Structures are given as structure tokens and as C-alpha cells.
Chain A
């Protein structure tokens, strides 16, 4: 690939990204009132998105080979348990991560 081709490739990636980030704001600008349906989606989506992102992070975990997803399951249980107990975001995240690192480096 030549340098101009590389620049074009990176520019197209950036353009596609910006398109997906700016489009909702361009379509529903502050001038006109946002349609009720869109407001509803805006309120309903966050919980659905967070669930989707958790699945997205775990998408390459295989339940049927290797460690069968056990390190992930244990570390998530620890994260959730810590969070329900102390409700300290950073503590829950750090605890879960350290647990996962220990599990896959030492046990699995």
C-alpha cells in the first residue's frame, strides 16, 4: 500500500466511525422536538446496551473447550459479590480482575 492509500484507509475508518457517532445527533438536533419514540429508545437502551457489552466482552469464551469459561464465571461472581457487599466500583473491578489474572496465570 502506498502512503496516500494508507491515508485514505485510515480516513475511511475515521469517517465510518464518526458517521455512526454523529448520525443520531444530526438526525435529532435540538431545533425540532425529539420524537417520543426516540426519547423512549434513549431511555430504554442503556440497560440493553450494558448487557450487550458484557456479552461482547465474553464473545470469545468457549464453553466446550479449554477451561469451559470457568475463570470468567468465577471472576464475574467475585466482581458481583464484591459489588453487592461493598458497592465500591473500583474495588469490585480491581478484585474481579486480580482474581481473573490469578486464575488464568496459576490455575487454568
Chain B
């Protein structure tokens, strides 16, 4: 098979997986671009930030940062806290991203929540190159985000159609991915740990700062309960 047809095959396998993200990022990216526009920034600000930072929630917070007095240390620490969950994604993808050469650099660069969810849970179809599949999922997702952020920045608040509630597409996607995971495994220890820890920490720490305590709880519980949990996992193959 020529390398062009390997790529074409991977692209056509990857695209359908990213359709929910096309919807979600299309909407959220537009919202982000509009928010930057009405905050007084030209369209290439959201476009470049989408390209360079590529982390939705942090980019929204970064708008506030840009409008406040320069505080580099606070910015850096706040960014680290918002993005800390990516440490988990890396741990979960160590195996899957192994041995993929130069593509691996871009795959790690673009490992946002949504791309992680697809690449971690999707079964790469028979005969499709794994590396290129992951690559196109990552590239498509980032393209959706960058293009819609730029569009939002260009159009500003000219858009008035009623999209209220469209952002639920991301929630629905994570629900379906979680459900698929539950249907695949026999014991649900780790999903229960993740769910219970997040709910408890959400109650204790509130919506703006519960993720890091949740991560600490999850790590602690997984470590304490390693003996009963480890035999229930299908060694190395979460997909």
C-alpha cells in the first residue's frame, strides 16, 4: 500500500470518530472567539492561542489574564492547576503512543480532553495504521478548534441563532464513552472510584477547584486497592 493510501484510509477511519467534537468545538470555539472579540482582541489572538495553547478551559481563563495586570508567576501556577489533569492522560496513553516516531510529538502536544477520550477508547479498525489514525484524530480536533475560534473572533457577536444548550454535546460524548467503558469491563472499580472521588471533592471544594483533590484521591485509592483491582484489568488493553 502506498503511503498516501495509508494516510487516506486512516483519515477516513478517524473522521467519523471526531464528528461529536466537530459539533462541540465548533460551538465552543465560536463562543471563545466571540468572547475574545467582545473583550477587544483582534481575531488572530483567539486563533493563535487556540493553535499554541490548545486547551479550552485555560484559554477562556487566559482572556481574563490578558485583561489584568501582568502577573507571570500567578498565570503559570494557575495554568498548571487547570491543566494538571493532562498528567493522567499521559499515563494512560504511554503504551498506545509508544513507537510512533515523530508523530508522537504532535500527539502529545495535542492531547486535550476530547482527543484523549477518542484515542484512548476507540478501537482502531483492522488494516488502518494506528499512528496515522491517532494523528488525524488529533489534527482534526485541533483544526476544528482553531478554525472556529478564528471565525468567532472575526464574526464577533453578529451570530444570534439560538444555540443555547449545544455545549451539552461534550457532556453527552463523555457519558457515551464512559458507558462504553462500563459495558466493556466486568468490574467497575475504577469508574466508581473516579465518580465517587469527583462527586465528593466537588461537594467539598466547589466547582472551580475540585479536580486536583480528585486526582489525589483517585491516585491514593488506586494505589491502596491495587491488589483487588489489578486482576480485573485486561492487561494493557483498555480499548
Q: A: which residues have CB within 8 A of B?
A: 1-2, 5-6, 8-25, 28, 30, 34, 37-60, 71-72, 75-76, 79-80, 83-84, 89-90, 92-93, 96-97, 100-101, 103-105
Contacts and interface: CB of A to CB of B under 8 A. Distances in A.
Given A40-B230, A46-B92, A47-B188, A10 B53 contact: yes
A95 to B, nearest CB: 8
Contacts of B210: 59
Interface string B73-116: 00110011001111111111111011100001000110101001
Given A56-B211, A100-B168, A49 B88 contact: yes
A55 B236 contact: no
Contacts of B116: 49
A80 B49 CA distance: 35
A50 B91 contact: no
Contacts of B80: 16, 19-20
A69 B111 CA distance: 30
B146 interface: no
Given A22-B108, A49-B88, A51-B195, 12 more contacts: A16-B79, A24-B87, A25-B104, A39-B236, A42-B91, A42-B236, A47-B178, A47-B194, A48-B197, A48-B218, A92-B176, A93-B176
Interface string B10-54: 000000100110010000000000000000000000001100111
B65 interface: yes
Nearest to B182: A47
Contact of A43 (B85, B111, B198, B236): B236
Contacts of B193: 48, 51
A21 B52 contact: no
A10 to B, nearest CB: 6
B196 to A, nearest CB: 8
B72 interface: yes
A75 B176 CA distance: 12
Contacts of A93: 20, 169, 172-173, 176
11 contacts: A20-B83, A34-B95, A40-B222, A47-B238, A48-B193, A48-B194, A50-B117, A53-B174, A57-B174, A93-B172, A104-B164
Contacts of A15: 76, 79
B199 A49 contact: no
A93 B48 CA distance: 30
Contacts of B19: 90
B229 interface: yes
B139 interface: no
Contact of B89 (A49, A72, A97, A103): A49
B83 A54 contact: no
B191 interface: yes
A18 B109 contact: yes
